[in-house]
Chain A
C-alpha cells in the first residue's frame, strides 16, 4: 500500500493567515493526489483534485501543488469557515489511501 503522511497533524492559525499543509507519498504517485475538507459530523468534501485542480465551488483562496511524492495545500487567507480537518488521498493505485488528516484550529 502507498502510505500518505501529512504534516502537521494539527495547526493553530488566525483568520487572514496563509497556511500550508503538506502531504508526502511513500512512492511516486504522479499527480494522482486529491484533497478533502471535513467538518465535524459531516462527510468529506472534495476541494482539490489531480494535485492542483480546484473543485467547482471551492473558494479561489485554496490551491494545490506538487507531483511525484510531495504535495501541498495552501490557503492564502484563512476565513472562519476554513477551520476544519483536511485529508489528502492518493488515487494512483488500489488500495486508495488517505493521509491521517490535518486539523486546522483557530
Chain B
C-alpha cells in the first residue's frame, strides 16, 4: 500500500526558508501516470494547491506562490521536496504531500500532513 510521509521543521522564523520532504513508500516515485504534489491548509481554513512534480523533472507551481517555491525530486531516495522562501505568518499551515493521477488529476493518497508554524 502506497504511503507518503512528510518531514521537516515544525517552526520556521519569518523571512527564512521552509523546507519539507515527502518520503514515498510502498511504491515507486517513477511510476508512470502519477505526479507528486504539495498542498497546504492554514489552521481553520481551506486547502491550497502549491505545486507538482513528475519524476522526469516537469514542474508546475501555483502562480500565487511561484516566486517563492521550489519543488524537487530525488528518485534515488524515492522522495520529493518543497522549499518556500521568505515565509511569513500567513504561511503557517499544515503542509501535505499527495500523489496525483495524471489524467483526471485527483489526489490519492495523501500524507498525514505536518504543521509548520512561522514565528520568531
Q: Which chain A residues have a beta carbon within 8 Å of chain B's beta carbons? A: 1, 32, 34, 36, 42-46, 49-50, 55, 87, 89, 91-92, 94-101
A31 to chain B minimum Cβ distance, whole angstroms, is: 8
| 10 interchain pairs, CB-CB under 8 A | A42-B112, A43-B96, A43-B98, A44-B110, A45-B109, A49-B108, A50-B106, A87-B47, A89-B107, A96-B105
Is A44 touching B111 in the complex (CB atoms < 8 A)?
no
A-B complex: 6 closest residue pairs judged by Cβ atoms: A91-B105, A43-B110, A46-B108, A98-B47, A95-B62, A49-B106
Provide the main secondary structure of the chain A interface. loop
Given contacts A43-B96, A43-B113, contact A95 B108 (CB under 8 A): no
What are the residues of chain A within 8 A of B110 when measuring CB–CB?
Answer: 43-45
B4-36 interface with A by 8 A CB criterion: none
Q: Number of B residues whose C-beta is below 8 Å from A?
A: 22
- Our pick among A91, A94, A95, A97 for the contact of B104 (Cβ within 8 Å) is A91
Contacts of B96 in A (CB 8 A): 43
Chain B residues near A32: list those with CB within 8 A. 104-105
- Nearest Cβ on chain A to B34's Cβ, whole angstroms: 13
A87 to B45, CA, bound (A): 12
Residues of A within 8 A of B113 (CB): 43
Using Cβ atoms and an 8 Å threshold, which residues of chain B touch A95?
A: 49, 62-64
